[in-house]
Amino acid sequence: MSRLRSLLVPALFTLAMGAILVGLGLWQLQRLAWKNAILAEIEARVDAMPEALPPQSAWAGLAPDDYEYRHVTFDGIFDHAKEALVFRGTAAGPGYFVLTPLQLLSGGIVIVNRGFVPTDKASAATRAQGEIAGIVHVSGLMRKPEPRNPFTPPDNPAKGEYFTRDPNLIAAHFGLAGAAPFTVDADATPVPGGLPVGGATELAIPNNHFSYALTWFGLAIGLLGVFAVFAWRKVTTPG
């Protein structure tokens, strides 16, 4: 009987920790369902036919999660003299997203991510054919400002060093009054000279919640196994 009593505290600890681990696993399954719904919504928006860009009067009331990845179309004139290069590492090597202000015919300015260029084509002079003049028709995906993380280097507009798609920062640096609080990733349409390469939207969104859930459940099972072995030895060991 004394041996069984000595198992009381370890058993309670095992039950408490096991409950926490199982709870974390169930929480990850809930997160999985949430992420799957988001990915399905993103896929539907990306594949949808382009719709008219919301008018400038509606921009202040737009919720980022409501417009993120919405497929839109609009007309305007690029201001290539005020393009910003946002550094990006890709499977094809390092390079830049070319973000160019576009004056809308309907009023307001939208900063368009025209696409990717390799580092040796950073200078606009090396891809002059792609600097389209006059009225252009653009279709692409609305994007909310890109968040930073602890490893993101600080942007330095004065030196032309950008590491995030932040339309507010770019607009402030170039004095773009009436600029939209979002950017638009241009679709992969032909460009004279081939650069920038459009369709640069990064859609590889991590979804690891199922593996996280298995990890938590596995730890719970492992903890239970350790306690079972401990209890068996405690009860069966002579002395």
* 53: pLDDT strictly greater than 80: yes
Residues 190 and 221 in one domain: no
The per-residue pLDDT for range 178-227, each reduced to its tens digit, is 999 999 999 998 898 899 998 888 776 778 888 888 999 899 899 888 88
137 in a domain, yes or no? yes
Lowest mean pLDDT among 11-25, 33-47, 85-99, 204-218: 33-47
The per-residue pLDDT for range 94-110, each reduced to its tens digit, is 999 999 999 999 889 99
* 6: pLDDT strictly greater than 90: no
* pLDDT-derived band at 10, boundaries 50, 70, 90: confident
* 131 vs 90, higher pLDDT: 131
Classify burial at 165, counting beta carbons within 10 Å of its beta carbon; exposed 0-12, middle 13-18, buried 19 or more: buried
Mean pLDDT, the chain, rounded, equals 88
For position 50, what pLDDT does the model report?
A: 92
Whether the link from the prior residue into 190 is cis, omega within 30° of 0, is no
pTM as predicted: 0.77
Which residue, 161, 100, 92, is CA-closest to 130?
Answer: 100
Beta strands in 60-191 (DSSP E): 71-78, 84-90, 93-104, 109-118, 135-143, 179-186
Tell me the pairing of strands 135-143 and 71-78.
antiparallel
Residues 101 and 142 in one domain: yes
Residues 117 and 147 in one domain: yes
Residues 119 and 33 in one domain: no
The kind and range of the H/E element at 176 are: none
The per-residue pLDDT for range 154-181, each reduced to its tens digit, is 888 888 889 999 999 999 999 999 999 9
Residues 24 and 115 in one domain: no
Domain with 109 in it: 70-194
Q: Stretch 77-102: mean pLDDT, rounded?
A: 91
The kind and range of the H/E element at 43 are: helix 8-47
58 in a domain, yes or no? no
Which residue, 225, 228, 224, 226, is CA-closest to 19?
Answer: 224
Domain count, the chain: 2
180 in a domain, yes or no? yes
45 in a domain, yes or no? no
Residues 218 and 136 in one domain: no
For position 45, what pLDDT does the model report?
A: 81
| Both tokens assigned to 203 | 């859609």
Classify burial at 103, counting beta carbons within 10 Å of its beta carbon; exposed 0-12, middle 13-18, buried 19 or more: middle
* 237: pLDDT strictly greater than 80: no
133 in a domain, yes or no? yes
Residues 157 and 94 in one domain: yes
60 in a domain, yes or no? no
Residues 96 and 124 in one domain: yes
